[in-house]
């Protein structure tokens, strides 16, 4: 078993789509970034890469590389899954939290879980997503940005088992 943590933050700006958990969420602002700036998926990828001891998403998908300009973070998550699988691991559990004053995330969490579950080829029971506000404190509370945290447990794959548990 290996454990990794991940964290990501992006600034909210006008004229960008708000993509979190692989879905577009209606909002007057979106997250600024080289890719689609999906903070949740970025935090999850970093937690997986961290558990593997393989650095972070900046190492694997640098923002100086035009191949990743405006790319869907779900595509990048598929690449991280491939790295994990090639190294003989599978998801044990992922627990994550989105920190945003607005919009409210609750209506979208089940769809986010389904998206992540499909890409990581695991059971929905192995993926947990929570959301919270900061009661108006900090950059999230002032609606200047959104952050996400993730912790991941990877289990050694025994016998080639990558099916949904």
Does 64 appear as a known binding residue? Answer: yes
Of 110, 118, 109, nearest to 163 (Cα)?
118
Does 78 appear as a known binding residue? Answer: no
Does 56 appear as a known binding residue? Answer: yes
Does 111 appear as a known binding residue? Answer: no
Does 58 appear as a known binding residue? Answer: yes
Does 117 appear as a known binding residue? Answer: no
Does 9 appear as a known binding residue? Answer: yes
Does 54 appear as a known binding residue? Answer: no
Burial of 82 (0-12, 13-18, 19+ CB in 10 A): exposed
Does 35 appear as a known binding residue? Answer: yes
Residue 164 and residue 140: Cα distance in Å, rounded? 35
Does 42 appear as a known binding residue? Answer: yes
Of 29, 45, 2, 35, nearest to 148 (Cα)?
45
Residue 61 and residue 95: Cα distance in Å, rounded? 23
Does 70 appear as a known binding residue? Answer: no
Binding-site sequence positions? 8-10, 34-35, 42, 56-58, 61-65, 132-135, 139
Q: Which residues are annotated as a binding site for a divalent metal cation?
A: 8, 10, 42
């Amino acid at each position: 078993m290996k454990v990794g943590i991940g964290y990501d933050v992006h600034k909210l700006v006008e004229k960008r789509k708000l993509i979190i958990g692989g879905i577009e969420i209606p909002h007057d602002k979106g997250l600024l970034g080289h890719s689609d700036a999906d903070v949740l998926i970025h935090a999850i990828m970093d937690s997986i890469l961290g558990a593997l001891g393989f650095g972070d998403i900046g190492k694997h998908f640098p923002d100086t590389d035009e191949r990743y300009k405006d790319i869907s973070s779900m595509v990048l998550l598929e690449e991280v899954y491939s790295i994990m699988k090639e190294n003989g691991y599978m998801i044990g559990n992922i627990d994550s939290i989105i920190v945003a004053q607005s919009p409210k995330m609750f209506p979208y969490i089940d769809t986010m879980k389904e998206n992540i579950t499909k890409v990581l080829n695991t059971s929905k029971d192995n993926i947990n997503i929570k959301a919270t506000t900061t009661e108006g404190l900090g950059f999230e509370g002032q609606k200047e940005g959104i952050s996400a945290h993730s912790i991941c447990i990877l289990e050694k794959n025994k016998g080639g088992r990558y099916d949904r548990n």
